[in-house]
Amino acid sequence: MILIITTYPNIYTKLKEYILNNGIKEYVLITSKKNELSYKGLNCDCVNEFNQESIVSRAIFYHQKNKVKRVISFGEKDVIIAAYIRSLLNIEGQKINNAEVFRNKYVMKKKLIEKKFIVSNFEGNLTREKILFFIKKNGKSVLKPLYGVASKGIFIIDAETDLENIVCKINLDNYMLEKYVDFKAMYSIDSLVINGVSVINAAHKYNIDPLMMTNTKKWHVVNQLNIDSTFSKRLIEIQKSLIDKLENENSSYAMHTEVFHTIDDRIMICEVASRFGGARIPDLLNNAFKVNVYDMYLDSLFERRITQDKVVEQKSKVCSILIPKVIGEVNGFPDKETINLPFISEYSLYVKNGDDIKEMKHSVDSAAVMVLTVPLEEEITVHINNIKRYFPY
């Protein structure tokens, strides 16, 4: 039996289509009760409380009933739970210690230092005194949750910060601290590893720091670099080195790495994760390389025929655009019919005109997301400028 664990609905995992189209039978999908409708028609166990205790309890039940041979997880929050189950039940794949390298940011940074990668100065096992000393030595710093996602719960602090006002709201045991990085640009490097081979690799440039996106009207553009450019090749070589040296115990996985290109031309690792990136990066990979990364990934996980087992080439220019939510009333956002342009391969609207936005859920909380796809010989920024006239900001 295969045990599938995910907090995500089907719109992100594409599991429903894959399982039904391929006649997958011996599996159980454990997900949150709120995803019940999303996975209707599948063999689901929808739990009211999606946490490690409840998921492990269900896993033990299914293992005793029909031995679990593989545990598959989707999403950052699922990685540790799946790894714990593999460790507990002695199932092949990524165990808990290895999973911590890709989730616990303090463990991650220590491993990166051990493997000779460049990272910003950092500190863990925090106390108020440690924080004050660190800021005095390093200046502006970032206080971030060990297991944070989507930039939630992050505080940028310096000597002028009212530290007590922050510390009283959080548990320092769940946080780490790192020096704020002044950088020229920020990038993600995204790979799909199949049976130990990175068959797809691409670098993406962020036009703004994701931490600075909250309540701003500036679009966040994630632009895929030309795979043949010198800088793209430099980033991809770093990614391949990370894949080699971090030794993910899963044979097939997605790898999402965020890096800073510093003012003195160094590549500094921000974070690594054994998952697909956000900002519609799987769609960017699909459209640029003319493949289906979900099917390739799932074929490998379900031990089916591998549809692609060699490195594939870039065939289109792509970018995703995240238009942020802004506090206040929503007005002037076009529907799909209004913005039906040939180079917009995907447009998702998450607000309705007339909505009253009271708060931001996280720094990349978006009102709308688009994916643009154009031929390699075209300039994608021209198309970005052309569609701005359709939006209120």
CATH number of 2-93: 3.40.50.20
Spell out the domain ranges in the chain: 2-93, 121-179, 183-390
Cα end-to-end distance, the chain, whole Å: 50
Q: What is the third-level CATH fold of 121-179?
A: Dna Ligase; domain 1 (3.30.1490)
Residues 6+ apart with CB under 8 A from 314: 202, 224, 226, 227, 228, 288, 289, 376
Strand, coil or helix: what is 25?
Answer: coil
For residues 182 and 363, what is the distance between their CA atoms, to the nearest angstrom?
A: 19
- pLDDT tens, the chain, 393 aa long: 999 999 989 988 889 999 999 999 999 999 999 999 999 999 999 999 999 999 999 999 999 999 999 999 988 889 999 999 999 999 999 999 999 999 999 999 999 999 999 999 999 999 999 999 999 999 999 999 999 887 788 999 988 888 888 988 899 999 999 999 999 999 999 999 998 889 999 999 999 877 766 667 889 999 999 999 999 999 999 999 999 999 999 989 999 999 999 999 999 999 999 988 888 999 999 999 999 888 888 888 887 766 555 567 899 999 999 999 989 999 999 998 898 899 999 999 999 999 999 887 766 788 999 999 999 999 999 999 999 999 999
Contacts of 300 (CB under 8 A, 6+ apart): 194, 195, 251, 252, 306
How far, in Å, CA of 289 to CA of 310, rounded?
Answer: 12
CA distance 168 to 163: 9
Query: What CATH homologous superfamily does 183-390 map to?
Result: ATP-grasp fold, B domain (3.30.470.20)
